[in-house]
């Protein structure tokens, strides 16, 4: 159970069962949990005294042991295309990033699950920032709370602009399993945000045992950060592949929605010029996905400082997509949104107190390469 710096229970991070347990400790009926959830998540209140259908004595009891403590907005900006980014400051000084992408028929919120990311995928700016810690439940659902409240205030209505949530922000969600699953249950709860299981998506780099566990406890949509059609290349781009190679990953993907024939796993595939975008890669991908209920999202690479990769040109992306579609693979090219404010896929960095010292190592490596180049040019 999440507690605040004052040692009180943070009601923001409690799902329905935990909220019922909380009220049981106060000697209250279970229906109080549903009322509290609606106040916090639907109405977006952060003051227990604003729960006007609770007696004054109950509110006083609650205030002695609990509070509603969302994370703090450090900075926010909006791109010309309407994409909105919040930089959210946590109690320990770390910062995470959350992005809202508005479209005509939906509004998608990209939510972070960790401060940084431990997996260090080679083409991802987030991974290059290192890793600090997992987010607590209140810090994960707090991002949804902030976005829903902010966007509703701008619209002047309680109708939430957030229709979809994707766990595709900073971090690998399945390495923070319990807090992520708990937070997604709050997103799905009719007394909170009431999102459909098909409108909440968890994206993973392919942690096979945790994927199997997720299938047993949650029915949200699944996306896999694939990015390569063979083990040799994926070992470089997505290093966790060395532990859970493609054969194992595809086996769990094939069976993931076996009892739900109309559902499929989304395969995310970033397009890197000359690296994974050639005709032979498309053919390998077709063979890899044979028999796997899936669709492919092609993601134009979003550059960041000091990366060695470049984005595939549009003609190459189009030809790759057409090759997959000719093999009856459902395939789309994702639009790049929010690049002007570093809010595009793979660009979220936040402010990470890096326990892995990854940034330091990368800086030393870059300095060594620069010194070597200087010596070679001088000789």
* Residues belonging to the active site: 97, 345
| Angle, CA 96 vertex, CA 94 and CA 153 arms, to 5° | 120
Residue 99, H or E segment: strand 95-102
Rg, C-alpha atoms of the chain:
22
Question: What distance in Å separates the CA atoms of residue 370 and residue 376, rounded to the nearest whole number?
Answer: 10
CB neighbours of residue 12 within 10 Å: 25
What is d(CA 9, CA 136) in angstroms, rounded to the nearest whole number?
Answer: 12
Spatial distance between the Cα atoms of 49 and 215, rounded to a whole number of angstroms: 39
DSSP string, 275-339: TT-SHHHHHHHHHHTTT--EEEEEEE----TT----BPPHHHHHHHHHHHHHTT-EEEEPPP-SG
Backbone angles phi, psi at 331, to 5 degrees: -145, 135
Question: For the chain, how far is it from start to end, CA to CA, in angstroms?
Answer: 62
Q: Where are the alpha helices (DSSP H) in 66-136?
A: 125-128
Mapped onto helix, strand or coil, the DSSP state of residue 51 is coil
| Token couple for 152 | 């509703």
Angle between helices 208-217 and 246-256 (to 10 degrees): 10
């Amino acid at each position: 159970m999440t507690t605040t710096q004052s040692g009180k229970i943070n009601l923001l991070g409690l799902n329905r069962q935990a909220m019922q347990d909380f009220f049981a400790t106060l000697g209250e009926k279970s229906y109080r949990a549903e009322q509290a959830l609606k106040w916090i998540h639907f109405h977006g209140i952060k003051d227990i005294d604003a729960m006007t259908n609770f007696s004054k004595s109950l509110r006083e009891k609650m205030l002695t042991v609990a509070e509603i403590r969302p994370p703090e907005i450090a900075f926010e900006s909006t791109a010309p295309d309407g994409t909105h980014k919040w930089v959210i400051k946590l109690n320990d000084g770390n910062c995470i990033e959350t992005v809202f992408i508005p479209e005509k028929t939906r509004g998608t919120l990209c939510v972070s699950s960790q401060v940084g990311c431990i997996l260090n995928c080679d083409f991802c700016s987030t991974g290059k920032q290192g890793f600090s810690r997992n987010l607590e439940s209140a810090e994960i659902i707090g991002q949804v709370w902030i976005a829903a409240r902010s966007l509703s205030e701008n619209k002047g209505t309680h109708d939430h602009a957030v229709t979809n949530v994707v766990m595709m922000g900073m971090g690998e969600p399945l390495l923070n399993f319990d807090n992520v699953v708990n937070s997604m249950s709050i997103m799905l709860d009719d007394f909170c945000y009431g999102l459909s299981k098909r409108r909440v998506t968890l994206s993973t780099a392919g942690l096979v045992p945790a994927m199997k566990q997720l299938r047993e406890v949650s029915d949200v949509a699944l996306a896999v950060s694939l990015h390569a059609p063979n083990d040799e290349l994926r070992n470089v781009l997505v290093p966790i592949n060395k532990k859970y190679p493609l054969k194992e990953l595809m086996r769990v993907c094939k069976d993931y929605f076996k009892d739900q024939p109309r559902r499929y796993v989304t395969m995310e595939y970033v397009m890197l010029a000359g690296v994974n975008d050639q005709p032979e890669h498309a053919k390998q991908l077709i063979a890899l996905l044979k028999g796997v209920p899936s669709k492919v999202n092609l993601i134009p690479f979003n550059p960041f400082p000091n990366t060695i990769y470049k984005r595939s040109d549009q003609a190459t992306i189009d030809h790759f997509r057409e090759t997959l579609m000719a093999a009856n693979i459902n395939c789309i090219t994702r639009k790049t949104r929010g690049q002007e404010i570093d809010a595009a896929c793979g660009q979220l960095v936040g402010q990470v107190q890096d326990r892995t010292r990854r940034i330091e190592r990368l800086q030393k490596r870059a300095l060594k390469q620069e010194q070597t180049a200087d010596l070679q040019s001088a000789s």
